[in-house]
Amino acid sequence: MTLVSDHIEADDTRTRILVTAEKLFRELGYQKTTVADIAKLLKMSPANVYRFFDSKKSIISAVAKRLMGEVEVAAIAIAATPQPASKRMRELLVTVHQMNSERYVGDAKLHEMVAIAMEESWDVCLVHIECVTGQIGQVIADGVASGEFDAPDVPLAALCVCTAMIRYFHPQMIVEAAQKPGPTIDQMTDFVLAGLAPRR
Amino acid sequence: MTLVSDHIEADDTRTRILVTAEKLFRELGYQKTTVADIAKLLKMSPANVYRFFDSKKSIISAVAKRLMGEVEVAAIAIAATPQPASKRMRELLVTVHQMNSERYVGDAKLHEMVAIAMEESWDVCLVHIECVTGQIGQVIADGVASGEFDAPDVPLAALCVCTAMIRYFHPQMIVEAAQKPGPTIDQMTDFVLAGLAPRR
């Protein structure tokens, strides 16, 4: 029989492995961090880490999923607030930008981690992009219902909004944006909202 | 006295070096191509190549500038055609996308060349982005004058349009777009044109 407390403990160990792995990936870089390093810092055997993750690749996928998951939770919460759709849309776009900037933009080691996570876990990225696009779609649908927005094809409009925001959402584009002239995120959000406004 | 024919010949040699260098960068990759290889294929001495370009880095910068210059010429020509602004805008956006796809998206060797050109010649890229944004701004200004568009701040609107199109303009994003759901360029252009349409 598996006790509930065993599940909780297993979840807790899994989370501790991920938090420690992320810390080491950020400090030493992904390539230089070994599963043995992670185990050592946690005072456990590498074999115990392998009980939870079969490879370093699985660890970085799970780290990426966890980081993206936090953004998804925030996006879902904002989409559900009882505010006008345009206000929710602005808050959602700005929050995703800020959270992605904090998570993925920093020094060379962080870059390495993000680039490898995106390459190794592209399926995880795709699910994340779909989730954020889904929340944007939810806000657009609400705006159409209330007459704030005009979008005959809501899923398509959500894809267009997400595409328009690549400069502010995509880790690598956020980095490049610092070297390239462009609108502020508020100005770009105005442009996107104009694209959703009812036509005359 | 310098004869006009000397100038023409020098220009011609310069162009031949660039065309040959681009060919070798695409075939062998940038790292594996030497100035000696370029000279050999042109049946000239490396010293003669160095008369025109002081380093391989200068050559790749000039190759990048030439490739981008062709796109600029096309953009300028489209912006100047006597068509409705929205029609010119669509043609301009689609043409830049198609020309960039042809130029910068292909196999791993071409990727290496583009990545290095963007890194080594970021200033050349910036001038290019400014030129394309300028042509987009020209079309927006014409559209505002004719009542087709509404844009209180034309340079800002041009930056927003360019930013919205990163998925279709940026070499690396064009590559990534193949693996990621998103609007077609025509759908995205519709969204951008909606953002420029007069408000009610």
Query: How far apart, in whole angstroms, are the C-alpha atoms of residue B142 and residue B89?
Result: 11
b/e burial code for range A158-167 (CB count within 10 A of at least 16 → b) = bbbbbbbbbb
Contact yes or no for A180 and B126 at CB 8 A = yes
The whole-number pLDDT of residue A161 equals 98
The 3-class secondary structure across B131-193, one letter per residue, is HHHHHHHHHHHHHHHHCCCCCCCHHHHHHHHHHHCHHHHCHHHHHHHCCCCCCCHHHHHHHHH
Top-confidence residue, A66 or A160: A160
- In this prediction, residues A89-97 reach a mean pLDDT of 98
Length of chain B: 200
The domain containing residue A4 runs over which residues?
1-54
Rounded to a whole number of angstroms, the distance from the CA of B1 to the nearest CA of chain A is: 44
- Does B126 lie in the same domain as B163? yes
Q: Is the pLDDT of residue A162 over 90?
A: yes
- Does B170 lie in the same domain as B135? yes
Q: Which long-range contacts (CB under 8 A, 24 or more apart) does A5-14 make?
A: A10/A52, A13/A44, A13/A48, A13/A52, A14/A52, A14/A62
CA distances from B163 to A39, A64, A183, B75 (A): 44, 26, 8, 17
Q: Is the pLDDT of residue A106 over 80?
A: no
CA distances from B146 to A65, A87, B56, B75, B198 (A): 49, 32, 48, 20, 11
Number of domain units in chain A: 2
B172, two tokens? 């690396």
- Does B107 lie in the same domain as B91? yes
- In this prediction, residues A150-171 reach a mean pLDDT of 97
The whole-number pLDDT of residue B165 equals 98
- Does A81 lie in the same domain as A118? yes
Whether ipTM > 0.85 holds is yes
- Does A102 lie in the same domain as A15? no
Helix (H) or strand (E) holding B25: helix B4-28
The whole-number pLDDT of residue B105 equals 81
A118 pLDDT band, cuts 50/70/90, is confident
Residues 168-197 of A with CB under 8 A from B: 170, 172-173, 179-183, 187-188, 191-192, 194-197
- In this prediction, residues A140-168 reach a mean pLDDT of 97
Residue that the structure tokens 């009610």 belong to? B200
Query: How far apart, in whole angstroms, are the C-alpha atoms of residue B64 and residue B124?
Result: 8
- Which residues of B fall within a CB distance of 8 Å from A121? none
- In this prediction, residues A20-30 reach a mean pLDDT of 91
| Below-50 pLDDT ranges, chain B | none
Whether B132 contacts B162, CB under 8 Å: yes
Contact yes or no for B160 and A129 at CB 8 A = no
- Does B75 lie in the same domain as B18? no
- Does B143 lie in the same domain as B172? yes
Top-confidence residue, A133 or A26: A133
The whole-number pLDDT of residue A3 equals 64
- Which residues of A fall within a CB distance of 8 Å from B122? 179
- Does B40 lie in the same domain as B61? no
The whole-number pLDDT of residue B2 equals 60
Rounded to a whole number of angstroms, the distance from the CA of A169 to the nearest CA of chain B is: 12
Give chain A's mean pLDDT.
91
Read off the pLDDT of residues A37-87 as tens digits, 9 standing for 90 and up: 999 999 999 999 999 999 999 999 999 898 899 999 999 999 999 999 999
Nearest CA to A163 out of B113, B100, B182, B149 is that of B182
- Does B118 lie in the same domain as B62? yes
A63, two tokens? 């780290």
Nearest CA to A173 out of B118, B121, B187, B63 is that of B118
Give me Rg for the CA atoms of chain A: 20
**Least CB–CB distance from A179: residue in B122, B182, B188:** B122
The whole-number pLDDT of residue A84 equals 97
- Which residues of B fall within a CB distance of 8 Å from A163? 164, 167, 182-183, 188
Rounded (10°) CA dihedral A30, A35, A36, A37: 40
- Does A145 lie in the same domain as A84? yes
Q: Is the pLDDT of residue A111 over 80?
A: no
> A128 to chain B: nearest residue by CA?
B180
Query: How far apart, in whole angstroms, are the C-alpha atoms of residue A79 and residue A88?
Result: 6
Q: Is the pLDDT of residue A5 over 70?
A: no
Amino acid at A81: T
CATH label of the domain that carries residue B112: 1.10.357.10
- Does A66 lie in the same domain as A49? no
- Does A105 lie in the same domain as A64? yes
